Amino acid sequence: MTRDAKTVSPGVTLRELGDLFEKEDFNAFPVEENSQVVGLVSKFDYLANFVFTPSHMVPRYDDLMKRTAADIMTPEFVYVRTETKLTRVLQLMVDHRLRSLPVIEKGQRLAGIISREDVMRSLQRCAQA
């Protein structure tokens, strides 16, 4: 698990998110406000803003890039607690096809992020024991 996970504030713009997704190799960022995780913003959430159909036209680019993480985040997201067993973490990742999961402590505080790679390393250690 990565304990010092990168987070974004609800006010970060799509322009800033785009830069972060390009710079960092993360699929999602926890959205943190007052030291509490209030949502999760993923590359999918970001990209969905650029999809248009005849019934949903994309606004002007500059207006679009002013949207914030709070506007596009997923407020109800899949997460695990610090005491969640590895088998449950793995099951959630497989069931929801997730690359990583936020690990949340009491009070909705972020303890870290657990990734597929973390789970794979743990499984390897178990196999070698």
For residue range 58-113, what is the model confidence (pLDDT) as tens digits? 678 888 899 999 999 999 999 999 999 999 999 999 999 999 999 999 999 999 99
Q: What's the CA gap between 80 and 102, in Å, rounded?
A: 6
In this predicted structure, what is the pLDDT of residue 57?
72
Q: Using the predicted structure, report yes or no on whether residue 50 has a pLDDT greater than 90.
A: no
Beta bridge partners, 37, equal: 32
Give the per-residue pLDDT at 54: 73
Q: Quick check: 17 pLDDT over 90? A: yes
| C-beta atoms surrounding 34 within 10 Å | 6
The model's pTM is 0.86
> Token match 């992020």: residue?
113
For position 25, what pLDDT does the model report?
84
Q: What is the CATH number of domain 14-128?
A: 3.10.580.10
